[in-house]
């Protein structure tokens, strides 16, 4: 008898077919709408494996209703949507998809940095709305990228990939990390500094740490007060790492110059969120890994992780 699996969002049929070779698969058929909580609660009661996205909250209540569940395969690098302690207590394997989205997310991070610093979105709207009447010396002027100092908070896979891109723009790269990465310092010519030094000296502050209890509101009023008034914050990690109220206050009071955000504390973000009203904020809808090739690869890795777990084999990307 095949193990039963539930997929919480419509994914590529080739990936589903691969899973169906070993599993009995059911899938929520909506691409753009997350599976409702009550339906997920019902579906999970009878399955051996769950293939989920960041949009699903896999908490202790949910896990305790799933007596047969052996594995939760998360199609993402981050896993703050899953109660890891509860899964561990219940003997449920949790997997993720690191590595495959590193370069794609680094591309997007640097694109967001460039768009924010050079006011690309604002300038495009300015033209389309018919506001461009003449050329003037300081019209839509932004911040230089070449030769600027980039401070990266979190020098993991994606952080180091962003650093490589920055070096191509002759940027001075400094970083802060829980552990010093001496090998990367030699390879990339980047410099480890303490957090306060990074905040005080960076033209761009790029948030690259995972979301945990320790990194919740890591960047708040104190940190913004340390930053240059010409500094730009870039966050493509997780929304809860940045205190959004403190960020809004820093932006409207000119404590910092601008922000590029791919993530928010509550997603999808409300259209009346105060940050979306600001011209010096470039906001995009959590598309860090959103290239066709990368998203398909993420789904493939998540499927492989799930199948191997159900076969009692060691999956490549185990969280617990």
Domain boundaries, the chain: 4-99+292-310, 102-283
Q: If you search the block for the tokens 């030699």, which residue do you land on? A: 186
Percent of residues, the chain, with pLDDT higher than 70: 100
Catalytic residue among 9, 119, 286, 295: 286
Which of the listed CATH numbers 3.40.50.720, 3.20.20.80, 1.10.287.470, 3.40.50.300 matches domain 4-99+292-310? 3.40.50.720
Identify whether 286 is a catalytic site residue: yes
Model-wide pTM > 0.85: yes
Confidence of residue 245 (pLDDT cuts 50, 70, 90): very high
pLDDT at 117: 98
User: Can 4-99+292-310 and 102-283 be said to share one CATH topology?
Assistant: yes
Task: Convert the pLDDT of each residue in 35-48 to its tens digit.
Answer: 999 999 999 999 99
Contact (Cβ atoms closer than 8 angstroms) between residue 55 and residue 78: no
Catalytic residue among 9, 119, 165, 238: 238
Catalytic residue among 30, 187, 267, 316: 267
Task: Convert the pLDDT of each residue in 92-151 to its tens digit.
Answer: 999 999 999 999 999 999 999 999 999 999 999 999 999 999 999 999 999 999 999 999
pLDDT at 104: 98
Q: Is the pLDDT of residue 31 over 90?
A: no
Confidence of residue 32 (pLDDT cuts 50, 70, 90): confident
Using CB atoms within 10 Å of the CB of residue 263, give its burial: 0 to 12 exposed, 13 to 18 middle, 19+ buried: buried
Report the chain's terminal Cα–Cα distance, integer Å.
Answer: 26
Task: Convert the pLDDT of each residue in 167-183 to its tens digit.
Answer: 999 999 999 999 999 99
CATH architecture of 102-283: 3-Layer(aba) Sandwich (3.40)
């Amino acid at each position: 008898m095949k193990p039963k699996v539930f997929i919480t969002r419509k994914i590529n049929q080739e990936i589903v077919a691969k899973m169906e070779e070993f599993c009995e698969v059911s899938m929520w058929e909506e691409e753009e709408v997350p599976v409702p909580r009550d339906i997920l609660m019902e579906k999970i009661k009878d399955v051996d494996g769950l293939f989920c996205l960041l949009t699903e909250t896999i908490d202790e209540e949910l896990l305790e209703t799933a007596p047969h569940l052996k594995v939760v395969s998360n199609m993402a690098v981050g896993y703050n949507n899953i109660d890891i302690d509860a899964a561990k207590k219940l003997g449920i394997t949790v997997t993720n998809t690191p590595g495959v989205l590193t370069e794609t997310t680094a591309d997007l991070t640097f694109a967001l940095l460039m768009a924010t610093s050079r006011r690309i979105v604002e300038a495009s709207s300015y033209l389309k709305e018919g506001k461009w009447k003449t050329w003037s010396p300081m019209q839509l002027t932004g911040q230089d990228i070449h030769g600027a100092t980039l401070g990266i908070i979190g020098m993991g896979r994606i952080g180091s990939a962003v650093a490589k891109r920055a070096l191509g723009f002759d940027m001075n790269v400094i970083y802060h990390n829980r552990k010093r990465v001496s090998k990367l310092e030699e390879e990339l010519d980047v410099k480890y500094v303490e957090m306060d030094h990074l905040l005080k000296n960076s033209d761009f502050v790029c948030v690259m740490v995972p979301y945990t209890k320790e990194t919740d509101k890591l960047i708040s009023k104190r940190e913004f007060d340390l930053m240059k008034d010409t500094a730009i914050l870039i966050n493509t990690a997780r929304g809860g790492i940045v205190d959004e109220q403190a960020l809004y206050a820093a932006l409207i009071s000119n404590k910092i110059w601008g922000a590029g955000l791919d993530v928010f504390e509550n997603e999808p973000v409300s259209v009346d969120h105060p940050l979306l009203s600001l011209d010096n904020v470039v906001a995009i809808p959590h598309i860090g890994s959103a290239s066709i090739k990368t998203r398909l690869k993420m789904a493939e890795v998540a499927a492989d992780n799930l199948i191997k777990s159900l076969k009692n084999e060691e999956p490549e990307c185990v969280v617990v």
